[in-house]
Amino acid sequence: MIRLPTFEERFEYLRLDGVVGESTFGFDRYLNQIFYHSEEWKAVRREVILRDSNGDCVLDLGCDGHEIFGRVLIHHMNPISAKDIVRRADILLNPEYLISTMKSTHDAIHYGDESLLAFDKLIVRKPNDTCPWRR
């Protein structure tokens, strides 16, 4: 994914076009909950966050200009299954298959909806622009 230079290219590469409410683990959901609370996961999560950081902030999909100001999620680039957890597949804990993201981007990846992406543009403020009676 490092070969994809822009946020938009990385998003399109990762996009899954899932359906909200569609079952992913079903009755085996307990397996991924056990996995995501394991010390192994917590250690690799810290490693990925450090790798995807630029100074004081973590970068969404590792892209400059897309800082995460809140909770950081770690996304598996290859969707995982209950079988992967049981078999301890390499994609579970290999940082090469993981990327830092924020919740809105993570949801957009899973549900294929760009409208969920947080593209906050910086608004240049001018004196009194928030005070309508002083214009």
Expressed as residue numbers, the domain containing 128 is 7-134
pLDDT (tens digit per residue) in 57-90? 999 999 998 999 899 999 999 988 889 999 999 9
Residue 1 lies in a domain: no
Q: Count up the domains in the chain and report the number.
A: 1
**Percent over 70 (pLDDT), the chain:** 83
Residue 69 lies in a domain: yes
Mean pLDDT lowest for which of 10-14, 76-80, 86-90, 121-125? 121-125
Q: What is the pLDDT of residue 29?
A: 80
pLDDT band at 40 (very low <50, low <70, confident <90, very high): very high
Residue 57 lies in a domain: yes
Residue 2 lies in a domain: no
Listed ranges 15-29, 77-91, 106-120; the one with the highest mean pLDDT: 77-91
Listed ranges 28-32, 95-99, 112-116, 125-129; the one with the highest mean pLDDT: 95-99
Pairing of strands 53-54, 57-59: antiparallel
Residue 79 lies in a domain: yes
Burial of 60 (0-12, 13-18, 19+ CB in 10 A): buried
